[in-house]
Amino acid sequence: KVLMKLRKPRITATIWSSGKVICTGATSEEEAKFGARRLARSLQKLGFQVIFTDFKVVNVLAVCNMPFEIRLPEFTKNNRPHASYEPELHPAVCYRIKTLRATLQIFSTGSITVTG
């Protein structure tokens, strides 16, 4: 694979010999698509035959910090069908939202990581 970085928008592209390209680092869907198009144009200028097809957003990551601590055992007890907490395995509560296909990792410090 080859790594290629763009400065504007600030993305990193991983390019495989099969032709598959993965862009990471964008802060919005529009920025990701614009960066992928710029990357395709750069590869065309280098002499490769590039066709921009099958663009889709596969994964999203967001992080936030609450200004307070979260009591994980109580949180899990009150949100039992969606939340699971195994302190021996992982220090965070895993809260799954099936309708959005998102998973939240909620830490006792108030830090929350959303993936989906």
Domain covering 2-46 assigned CATH 3.30.310.10 in the classification? yes
pLDDT score recorded for residue 102? 92
Fold: same for 2-46 and 61-115: yes
Beta bridge partners of 16: none
Summarize the chain as % helix, strand, coil (round to 5). 20, 35, 45
Indicate whether this model's pTM tops 0.75.
no
Domain covering 61-115 assigned CATH 3.30.70.20 in the classification? no
What number is the average pLDDT over the span 101-108?
Answer: 94
Q: Is 75 left (phi over 0), alpha (psi -120 to 50) or beta?
A: alpha
